[in-house]
Amino acid sequence: MNLTTSGILPLLKNRNFMVLWVSQLITQLADKILFILQILIATNNQFTDYPKPILSHEALVMISSTLPAILFGSLAGIYVDRHDKFRVMIYANIVRASVVFLLPIFPDSFLYLLVITFVEQIFTQFFAPAEQSAIPLIVDKPNLMAANAMTASSTMASLILGYGIGSPVLNSLTNLFPNITFIRELFVGGCYLVSVVMLLFIPVREEIARSSKVHLINDLKDSIAYVRQNLPVGGAILQLMLLYGILGVLLKLSMNLSKLLIGNQGDFGFFVSGTGAGLAISALLLGQFSNYFAHRPLPWLGFMGIAFCLLLFALVPYVNSVPIALVITLILGFQSSLVLIPMQTIIHHYTDENMRGKVFGLLNNGQNIAANIPLIIVTVILDLSTLWLGEKLGFQVIVILVSVLVLVGGRQLWQQSRRALEKVL
């Protein structure tokens, strides 16, 4: 199968895709800055209704932000398949902007902040599958790999920029407009509304075949059955879940590595940003030169590369070099793109149009579970390992173990996916 494109240039000439792409970038930047704003509110305010929580305010905000993806990800995908994708994105961002504008009300209520965070994230679950499902509506199949490369690069760019400039931007707004107490909320909500205005200029609208009755549970069962029967799509989802599990574990590994090299776990963002930068750069390269890479086993090469980078992580404490660690994270990001982009392209290519929302809803659900459960497990094991074996040796043992699991799991999943693809070709 040829999932290639002549490069990014045809997409730059595709007006509808470029509008969607820029709108996506603005929305994702707003998501990251909003999360920082919520953390700032949680940590800087003295809440009278929840002054001494068992868990920290930041942890509770993170939980409130994560739960909607686990609870509503699949159901949101079912809804998306029954409605116009662009309208879903427009309405979701209008609601999110409205919710953000409500943040300044009752600032001393921590429960209110948690509710606002939870509700905003519910509508994020509708935006995500609609956005992914809309791409094949405005991009021809031969250009899907380049389109996925561009969206992956913008996602990583928003991760790096959003978390990197979010706090300075919010502080600058407060200093520039000291008399406008809600200036931060106005800025973030305004970003969502700018995205809405841009989406209104995309003329593509779908013909949706709606049934007279809606059965969410049956639709959910149908979507799971569809993924199980559609082996290329199911294989791609499993590989993406493994990738997100690795990226989730990388958060904890980066914290421990930061403590070993810098002496402060709080500086782990340098290494996470390095991975994001590597992924963004390599995504653009894959999009531009996808004809050359088309028939190569990219995901398997990606998993092997990730496993090798993790082994290098185990050696970094011996050289005690932050620059070397950053180079490794860049390479790890590059290897991650070899899994992410081809697998998303396969899902777009082999998923029927009326099932895309459901499939991407399941994918969003699975990715969130995959990113959080391994993170919790590795956090516990790594803490015990460093307690028993010491900071350095405990870290190295767990990193090597994770590397072996990535190599074995990646090989198994890629072989299954390859056999599935061979059957349908």
C-alpha to C-alpha distance for 420 and 425, rounded to whole angstroms: 9
Q: Between the ranges 112-116, 406-410, 415-419, where is the mean pLDDT highest?
A: 406-410
Cα distance between residue 406 and residue 151, in whole Å: 25
Residues 391 and 260: beta-carbon distance below 8 Å: yes
Side-chain half-sphere of 347: how many Cα atoms within 13 Å?
31
Backbone phi and psi for residue 164, each to the nearest 5 degrees, phi listed first: -80, -40
Cα atoms in the 13 Å half-sphere on the side-chain side of 308: 13
- Residue 195's pLDDT is what? 93
Residue 3 clears pLDDT 50, i.e. is over it:
no
> What residue segments make up the domains of the chain, in order of their start?
1-204, 215-425
Mean per-residue pLDDT, 349-366: 77
Tokens of 159: 């991760």
Using alpha carbons, select from 379, 356, 377, 65 the residue that is nearest to residue 227.
356
| Tokens 């928003």, residue located | 158
Residue/partner pairs of 296-300 with CB below 8 Å, 24 or more apart: 297/414, 297/418, 298/338, 298/339, 298/341, 298/342, 299/239, 299/338, 299/339, 299/342, 299/343, 299/410, 299/413, 299/414, 299/417, 300/410, 300/411, 300/414
Distance CA 204, CA 197 (A): 15
Which tokens is 21 given? 């792409």
Cα first-last separation, the chain: 7
SS3 content of the chain, % helix, strand, coil (to 5): 85, 0, 15
| Residue 90 one-letter amino acid | I
- The span from the CA of 36 to the CA of 355, in Å, is 34
The amino acid at residue 394 is G
Q: Which tens digit of pLDDT belongs to each residue from 210-227? A: 554 556 677 777 778 888
Radius of gyration of the chain (CA): 22
Question: What local confidence, expressed as pLDDT, does residue 303 receive?
Answer: 92
183-191 average pLDDT score: 91
SS3 102: coil
Q: DSSP string spanning 124-160?
A: HHHHHHHHHHHHHHHS-GGGHHHHHHHHHHHHHHHHH
pLDDT at residue 25 is higher than 50: yes
Read off the pLDDT of residues 41-90 as tens digits, 9 standing for 90 and up: 877 766 766 656 565 676 677 778 778 877 887 777 778 877 888 889 99
Give the burial class of 401: count Cβ atoms within 10 A of its Cβ; 0-12 exposed, 13-18 middle, 19 or more buried. middle
Residue 75 token pair: 């159901």
Tens of pLDDT, residues 226-280: 888 888 888 888 898 898 888 878 877 877 787 788 776 555 666 777 777 787 7
Which band of pLDDT confidence, cut at 50, 70 and 90, is reported for residue 287? low
Question: 215-425 belongs to which CATH class?
Answer: mainly alpha
In the predicted model, is pLDDT for residue 368 greater than 90?
no
- What's the pLDDT score for residue 58? 67
Q: By the 8 A CB rule, do 107 and 45 touch? A: yes
For the stretch 66-102, what's the b/e string if a residue is b when 16 or more beta carbons lie within 10 angstroms of its beta carbon? bebbebbbbbbbbbbbbbbbbebbbbbbbbbbebbbe
How far apart (Å, rounded) are the C-alpha atoms in residues 21 and 14?
A: 11
Cβ pair 375, 252 in contact under 8 A: yes
Q: In the structure, what pLDDT confidence band is assigned to residue 4 with cuts at 50, 70 and 90?
A: very low
What is the spatial distance between Cα 294 and Cα 289, in angstroms, rounded to a whole number?
9
Q: DSSP code of 104? A: T
- The domain over range 1-204 is classified in CATH as 3.80.10.10: no
With a pLDDT cut of 90, the percent of the chain lying above it is: 13
- CA distance linking residue 41 with residue 44, whole number of Å: 5
pLDDT at site 60? 75
- Residue 382: its pLDDT value, please? 80
Alpha-carbon gap, residue 117 to 58, rounded angstroms: 12
Length of the chain: 425
CA nearest 121: which of 37, 65, 183? 65
Q: In which region does residue 7 sit, left (phi positive, over 0), alpha (psi from -120 to 50) or beta (all else)?
A: left
